[in-house]
């Protein structure tokens, strides 16, 4: 399996971010080919030190190649382009193969 993790930094308007993310971005991102599972954090992002992270999205794919293919599709490009419409605090994206241990 492989993971695409997006760390959304605290936006300028949290309520607007949350509403837009739920109503617009999630439906777009769920259309990306190859997505097997889509999870988001709920509540506060806890850490020993302040993170500045408002929300974590974790999308599971079959492989890193599947992530890359999904992001390269028209649906992946639309989801990526949409981030600028709501992520006013910025976002970091991490992609990696994973294994269960």
Q: Where are the domains of the chain?
A: 2-97
The CATH number corresponding to 2-97 among 3.80.10.10, 1.20.1260.120, 3.30.70.100, 2.40.110.10 equals 3.30.70.100
Beta-carbon neighbour count of residue 66 at 10 Å? 19
pTM of the model: 0.93
Alpha-carbon distance of 17 to 93, in angstroms, equals: 17
Which residues, 6+ apart, have CB-to-CB distance to 77 below 8 Å?
71
* Edge-to-edge order in the sheet of strand 53-61: 37-40, 53-61, 2-9, 91-97
Beta carbons of 86 and 17 less than 8 angstroms apart: yes
**pLDDT tens for each residue of the chain, 101 residues long:** 999 999 999 999 999 999 999 999 999 999 999 999 999 999 999 999 888 999 999 999 999 999 999 999 999 999 999 999 999 999 999 999 999 89
């Amino acid at each position: 399996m492989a993971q695409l993790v997006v760390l959304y930094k605290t936006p300028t308007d949290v309520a607007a971010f949350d509403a837009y993310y739920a109503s617009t971005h999630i439906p777009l991102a769920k259309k990306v080919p190859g997505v097997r599972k889509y999870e988001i954090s709920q509540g506060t992002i806890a850490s020993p030190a302040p993170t500045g992270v408002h929300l974590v999205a974790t999308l599971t794919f079959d492989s890193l190649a599947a992530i890359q293919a999904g992001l390269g599709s028209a649906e992946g490009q639309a989801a990526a382009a949409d981030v600028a419409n709501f992520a006013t605090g910025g976002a970091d994206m991490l992609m990696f193969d994973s294994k269960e241990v």
